[in-house]
């Protein structure tokens, strides 16, 4: 099989990829997938022991790529700059950024604790901005690249009882649209991935009312979402969903806003 691959499948240049929030869920699955594809992957997160575990897992599996684990909080611009500097110093360039780190909040906006809402906004909006601002100069030096912003179907279709989270993901859409115009001349593409419900630590770590999931809505594995990120890098669309059902959700939310608002208020309420 290896000989067949070498002869008939053209070698793809190794990509240098920075993923934020790779200590669990989608980021973790994406890091292992890219390392399995032979890429050089820098992975950030705050939990040092999880980063060490990830590096060990990749080494134990003898993956053809490499993983560099970097402890960094996306809400700290200096930490994100250091993460990019370490990536470039280890792998000599940066081609792809997957801005994935994020946290949710569920519950009525007015009664929510401000500290919880602030964490969501700082992580999901400021975190993306710090990541992009640190990474773009390195991507420019590499002659171009691709930024994937991991968003949610609640970005284009905000849900009741998820106001701050929906707003944070809608901000991702606005940032992407603005950045596309700014970075076109640098040959840097920007894709927003609208993710539907996935089985990760996300629901348990959600602030406000953790743990609850929409039991009637199909749930993806993090590996499925990671596959969507790889497809986004191949196809370079402006926006993308992983499944047709998520596309249907967004279409319905845009076509029938009042109906969807009522439905989401009932589901999330
Ligand atoms: N799961 C879903 O149903 C779903 C649906 C739509 C969209 N999404 C989006 O998918 C992305 C990944 O979520 P997930 O489902 O994989 O959840 P997850 O398992 O909870 O992973 C979240 C990741 O974000 C990192 N993170 C959180 N705050 C951070 C901070 N301040 N600095 C650095 N890293 C931070 C966490 O690492 P540390 O705690 O180690 O820092 C963790 O690695 C998020 O942006 C989320 O909004 C998820």
Residue 244, phi then psi, degrees to nearest 5: -65, -30
Residue 207, phi then psi, degrees to nearest 5: -80, 165
Contact in structure between 45 and 73 (CB atoms under 8 Å): no
Active site (annotated) includes residue 169: yes
Query: Which residue has its alpha carbon closest to ligand 1 atom 29?
Result: 101
Could you identify the atom of ligand 1 that is nearest to the CA of residue 23? 43
For the chain, the straight-line distance linking the first and the last C-alpha, in angstroms and rounded, comes to 53
pLDDT exceeds 80 at position 159: yes
Residue 212, burial from CB neighbour count under 10 angstroms (0-12, 13-18, 19+): middle
Structural domains of the chain, count: 1
All residues at 6 or more sequence positions from 37 whose CB lies less than 8 Å from its CB, including other chains: 12, 64, 65, 230
Give the model's pLDDT for residue 6.
56
The pLDDT mean for the chain works out to 94
* Tokens read off for 193: 């991935």
Active site (annotated) includes residue 6: no
Distances (CA, A) of 222 to 53, 78, 125, 150, 231: 17, 29, 22, 12, 14
pLDDT exceeds 90 at position 189: yes
Q: Please give the share of the chain, as a percent, with pLDDT higher than 70.
A: 94
pLDDT exceeds 70 at position 173: yes
Q: How far is the CA of 37 from the centre of ligand 1 (A)?
A: 23
Query: Which has the closest alpha carbon to 267: 162, 166, 169?
Result: 162
> Taking residues 16-31, what's their average pLDDT?
98
CATH of residue 168: 3.40.50.720
Sheet containing 239-241, strands listed edge to edge, beginning at the edge strand earlier in sequence: 66-71, 40-45, 16-19, 96-99, 145-152, 188-195, 239-241
Q: Is the CB of 45 under 6 A from ligand 1?
A: yes
Helices (H), the chain: 2-8, 25-36, 48-60, 77-91, 114-121, 127-141, 163-183, 202-205, 222-235, 244-255, 257-268
Q: How far is the CA of 25 from the centre of ligand 1 (A)?
A: 7
Q: How far is CA 28 from the centre of its chain?
A: 10
User: Of 165, 205, 236, 268, which one is the catalytic site residue?
Assistant: 165
Tens of pLDDT, residue by residue over 33-78, are 999 999 999 999 999 999 999 999 999 999 999 999 999 999 999 9
Tens of pLDDT, residue by residue over 116-135, are 999 999 999 999 999 999 99
Give the model's pLDDT for residue 267.
81
Q: Is the CB of 183 under 6 A from ligand 1?
A: no
Query: Which has the closest alpha carbon to 233: 89, 47, 77, 96?
Result: 96
CA distance 207 to 212: 11
Give the model's pLDDT for residue 7.
59
User: Residue 124's domain spans which residues?
Assistant: 2-268
User: Of 4, 6, 161, 169, which one is the catalytic site residue?
Assistant: 169
């Amino acid at each position: 099989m290896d000989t067949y691959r070498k002869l008939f499948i053209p070698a793809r240049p190794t990509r240098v990829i920075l993923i934020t929030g790779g200590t669990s869920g989608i980021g973790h699955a994406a890091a292992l997938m890219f390392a399995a594809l032979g890429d050089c992957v820098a992975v950030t997160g705050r939990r040092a022991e999880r980063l060490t575990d990830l590096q060990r897992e990749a080494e134990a599996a003898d993956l053809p790529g490499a993983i560099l684990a970097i402890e960094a909080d996306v809400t700290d611009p200096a930490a994100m700059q250091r993460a990019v500097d370490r990536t470039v110093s280890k792998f000599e360039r940066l081609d792809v950024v997957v801005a994935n780190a994020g946290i949710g909040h569920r519950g009525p906006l007015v009664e929510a604790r401000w500290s919880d809402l602030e964490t969501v906004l700082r992580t999901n909006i400021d975190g993306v901005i710090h990541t992009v601002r640190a990474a773009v100069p390195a991507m420019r030096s590499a002659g171009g690249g691709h930024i994937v912003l991991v968003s949610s179907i609640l970005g284009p279709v905000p849900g009741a009882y998820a106001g701050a989270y929906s707003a944070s993901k809608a901000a991702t859409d606005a940032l992407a649209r603005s950045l596309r115009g700014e970075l076109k001349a640098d040959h840097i593409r920007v894709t927003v991935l609208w993710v539907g419900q996935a089985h990760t630590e996300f629901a348990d770590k959600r602030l406000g009312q953790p743990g609850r999931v929409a039991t009637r809505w199909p749930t993806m594995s993090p590996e499925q979402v990671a596959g969507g990120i790889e497809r986004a890098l191949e196809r370079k669309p402006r926006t993308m969903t992983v499944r047709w059902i998520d596309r249907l959700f967004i279409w319905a939310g845009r076509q029938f806003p009042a109906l969807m608002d009522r439905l989401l208020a009932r589901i999330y309420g």
